[in-house]
Amino acid sequence: MSTTFLRRARGAVVLGMAPVLALAACGSEGGSGDAAGDGSVRMLVNITDNLTQAKWEELVKPFEDESGIDVKIEGPSGQSVAESFPALLAAGTAPDVIESIVPGPDTAPEVLDLTEYEWASGTPMADLYSTDGTINVVGVGMQAQSLMYYNADLFAEAGITEPPTTWDELDDALAALAANDVATPIAFASDWATGVQVQEIWHPQQNVSTPGWQQSVADGSSTLGDQFQPVFEHVADWIEAGYTTADDVATDSGTQEANFIAGDVGVYPMGSWFSTTLAASPPDFEVGVFAPPVDDAADVPGPMGATLAFPYMVWKGTANPDGATALVEYLTTDDAAIAAQAEMDSFSREGLEPSSNEYAGMVQELSDAAPSYVVPGNQTVGDYALPVAGFNPKFTELVQGLWQGRPPADVAADLTAWYEAEKLG
């Protein structure tokens, strides 16, 4: 009887422990690709309509053939690479190479210092994205952020002969579009896009008024509210005039891009990556691009907001540092790899053949004409980083209040209050 009991108990224990053992087995593999000694490199990348898994595989194939290193492409496990990387770090399964994000205050200590690598200092914008001379992220080029795509046919029909260069001219252009029954004279989109777009249209004037404004905010000589209230007032005026409606901030960027391509939108603020989308689905009207306006015509053209295209970081804890750095070196310095990435998502780079994409060509002209490149506020790396995390999500949340009738001064005050609370940690 008791023997039967003991046998049953033993069986129950074994059966009960099976899932635990299985879980333990699942979690036993090391994070780095080389942990198992297979010489591979895991790379966490952004997956989008332009940047597909297949294109990434194709991009790294020459490197794999040349080096014998197997590159394992992984998409984000969460909503984005920015969300996934810290989670993977916490889980002990961090990838060897991380693409599409730049180091933040929390992740910077986990990223390999690339300063000692000679090739790293020669990559585009390495200085602008370095922190106290330390390079821990490298990229393949520059993506212009401050761009206003416009429907040239609608402009012509509304009697607008030249793209606007000052805020007054832009207001006049939007009024003319509205008077000509254009459904959406200027379009914004929901989620992350609202914040990015409002920042984009303000980059030039903001950096004319306060060069290095992030540092002014950080040292207390300015506030985020002071920095952004003027653009909030511009946007509030447009909302009041009906040039953009609350529906905009409930419409995702993909749909809003389709609306532009369908000819329903006069002006669409968006980064250079939109030129790739336009090239993939060319509209049946003429598209133009102009730089966001400045207050005074004497300041035209203003500085261009610019971000690092295809940023790459190497995890400090990688078991295969040589393989990981070799991969990043290949991706950021090999001509064929750079050209392949430019096809995936257009960017500009000195020495890079001009893109056959006509829209990217227009963007390139504007970038070349800009007196300087400036780091947007949502970038978390380098000497121009705001000392807070989550700037764009909070900025987006607050700025969407303008479409709900909140006064610009209140939105600006809330932005300042958020910064003051967050910088304390």
Partner 1 sequence: MARTTTTRRGLVSGLANGLMTLPAAAVYTGLTVVPVGYAVYYSFTQYNGIPSQAPTWVGWDNYVRIVTDPIGDLRPAAWVTLVIAVVGAFLVNGAALGLALLLRRTTPFNTFARAVMFYPHVLSALIVGFLWQAILGPQGAVNNLLENAGRSSWPFLSDPDWALVTLVGVIVWAQFGVQLVLYLAGLQAVSPELQEAARLDGANGPQVFRHVTWPALAPTVTVTIVTSILSLLKVYDVVLGLTNGGPGDATQTWAYEILAVSFANNKVGLACAQAVLLVVVAGILSFTIIALRRRAEEGAEAVG
Size of the site for partner 1 (CB under 8 A): 54
Residue 125 contacts residue 373 (beta carbons within 8 Å): yes
Stretch that binds partner 1, among 79-87, 169-177, 289-297, 345-353 (CB under 8 A): 79-87
| Residue 144 CA from chain centroid, whole number | 11
Of residues 190 through 249, those in contact with partner 1 by CB under 8 A are: 190-191, 245-247, 249
Using rule CB under 8 A, residue 27 touches partner 1: no
Q: By three-state DSSP, how is residue 73 classified? A: strand
Among residues 379, 309, 375, 306, the alpha carbon closest in space to that of 344 is found at 309
Using rule CB under 8 A, residue 423 touches partner 1: no
β partners of residue 134: 131
Residue placing its CB nearer to partner 1 in the complex, 89 or 328: 89
In single-letter form, the type of residue at position 23 comes to L
Using rule CB under 8 A, residue 263 touches partner 1: no
CB of 361 to partner 1, least distance (A): 31
Using rule CB under 8 A, residue 47 touches partner 1: no
Applying CB under 8 A, among 149, 243, 290, 418 the residue interacting with partner 1 is: 418
Determine the Cα–Cα distance for residues 23 and 327; give it in Å rounded to an integer. Answer: 32
Using rule CB under 8 A, residue 83 touches partner 1: yes
Using rule CB under 8 A, residue 183 touches partner 1: no
Of residues 300 through 319, those in contact with partner 1 by CB under 8 A are: 317
**What count of other Cβ atoms lies within 10 Å of the Cβ of residue 41?**
32
Among residues 218, 199, 140, the alpha carbon closest in space to that of 382 is found at 218
Residue placing its CB nearer to partner 1 in the complex, 169 or 414: 414
Residue 86 contacts residue 106 (beta carbons within 8 Å): yes
Residue placing its CB nearer to partner 1 in the complex, 157 or 422: 422
Applying CB under 8 A, among 156, 241, 250, 280 the residue interacting with partner 1 is: 250
Residue 42 contacts residue 97 (beta carbons within 8 Å): yes
β partners of residue 373: 304
Using rule CB under 8 A, residue 410 touches partner 1: no
Q: What is the DSSP letter of 151?
A: E
Interaction pattern, residues 91-130, with partner 1; x per rule: CB under 8 A: -x-----------x-xx-xx--------------------
Determine the Cα–Cα distance for residues 262 and 176; give it in Å rounded to an integer. Answer: 20
CA distances to 52, 119, 125, 138, 348 from 202, rounded to whole Å, are 31, 34, 21, 26, 21
Determine the Cα–Cα distance for residues 103 and 313; give it in Å rounded to an integer. Answer: 8
Interaction pattern, residues 144-173, with partner 1; x per rule: CB under 8 A: ------------------------------
Residues that bind partner 1 (CB under 8 A): 1-2, 5-6, 8-9, 12-13, 15-17, 19-20, 79, 82-83, 86-87, 89-90, 92, 104, 106-107, 109-110, 190-191, 245-247, 249-251, 255, 259, 317, 389-390, 393, 397-398, 400-401, 403-404, 406, 414, 417-418, 420-422, 425
